[in-house]
Amino acid sequence: MIIENSGLNGVQSELNYLDDAAEKVGFVRWQWEYYRATYDLKLVDRASGSEYFLRINTRAIEGKLESPHAVLNIEAVYIGRATFPHGLEYESPVPQHIMDTATQRLQQLKQQLV
């Protein structure tokens, strides 16, 4: 599910600063290559045991991710349920308490970046 109202789409930050801000909120830069990176936050529904990942997609608009001074643009924010062996399914409904936590973490990150 794409999260349209995160307030993060279009926000720009240097890689080093974004890494630090994301880590403070609990995100990990998980996948990356020279020009794009994703930041993931794992959320677990204790009732069902399901795992959800809040994911932020970014793309370098200045430099490459080899440099801590590369400037990244946040392109999209979405959440999905983890599937075996390793993937995300974006069509499943997300429990409200998981969405509430996701929204809270996105707001914390936004405060760090804006």
| Mean pLDDT value across residues 32-48 | 95
Domain containing 79 — which CATH number?
A: 3.30.310.100
- Distance (Å, whole) CA 69 – CA 51: 33
Percentage with pLDDT > 90 across the chain = 87
Residue 63 maps to a domain = yes
Q: What is the pTM of this model?
A: 0.91
State the average pLDDT for the chain. Answer: 94
pLDDT of residue 32: 87
44-101-83 Cα angle (round to 5): 35
pLDDT of residue 30: 86
Residue 40 maps to a domain = yes
Burial status of residue 27 (CB atoms within 10 A of its CB: 0-12, 13-18, 19 or more): buried
Quick: pLDDT tens for 75-112: 999 999 999 887 889 998 999 999 999 999 999 999 99
Residue 43 maps to a domain = yes
